[in-house]
Structure formats: structure tokens, C-alpha cells
Amino acid sequence: MAKKKEPELKSLLNKYFGEFMSFLLTSLEEETGDLLKKFRDWINFKKRLQKYVISLIIVVASLVVILYGIGSFLGSFFPSWKPGASHILIGVIAILIVWAYRKYS
């Protein structure tokens, strides 16, 4: 009788182990696909973010150069002002414009 139970146990183990392994492999394939998709999305997000940061740096640098030029131009109209006063005035005006835009938009 012990010999009869052993083959039944082996056949049951083989059957359920095979089903479990196929379920495990299917789950791994699905999860691996999801992880690869998330990883690809993360890489694309990183590239887009890097592109936007570089664009923002270029825009800010351009604005700084323009504001510096306006300050120098304004300083040439008022030679009695101390050096740098026109640049400070332009900076304060730019800050007030940004503050008003953020407050009222």
C-alpha cells in the first residue's frame, strides 16, 4: 500500500509543480515586460527633463544678457548715477514684473 501512495504523490507533485512553474514563468514574463516599459518611460522622462532644463538655462541666460544690456543702455543716459545703479534698477523692475504676473495670473 505504501508503494501505491508514493506514485500518486509523485504524480500529484509533478502535476502541480508543472502548473506552478508555468504560472511562475508567465508571471515573470509579464512583470519583466512591465518593468522594461517603466524603465523605458523613466529613461525617456530623464531625456525630456534634461532637454527642458537645458532650454530653461538658455532662456534664463538670454534674459540675463538682455537685462544687462538694458541696464548698460540706461546707464549711458544717466552718467551721474553710480556704476551698477541702472542694473539694480532693471533687476528690481524685472522682479516686480514677475511678482505681479504670478500674483494676478
Number of H helices, E strands in the chain: 2, 0
The domain ranges of the chain are 2-104
- Contacts of residue 81, Cβ cutoff 8 Å, sequence gap at least 6: 75
User: Each residue's pLDDT tens digit in the chain (105 positions)?
Assistant: 455 566 677 777 777 777 777 777 777 777 777 777 777 888 888 888 988 999 999 989 988 888 888 888 888 888 888 888 888 888 899 899 989 988 887
- The pLDDT of residue 3 is 55
- The pLDDT of residue 4 is 57
- The pLDDT of residue 38 is 78
pTM of the full structure: 0.53
Q: How far is 7 from 91, CA to CA, in rounded Å?
A: 88
Q: How far is 85 from 78, CA to CA, in rounded Å?
A: 10
3-state SS, residue 96? helix
Q: How long is the chain?
A: 105
- The pLDDT of residue 5 is 61
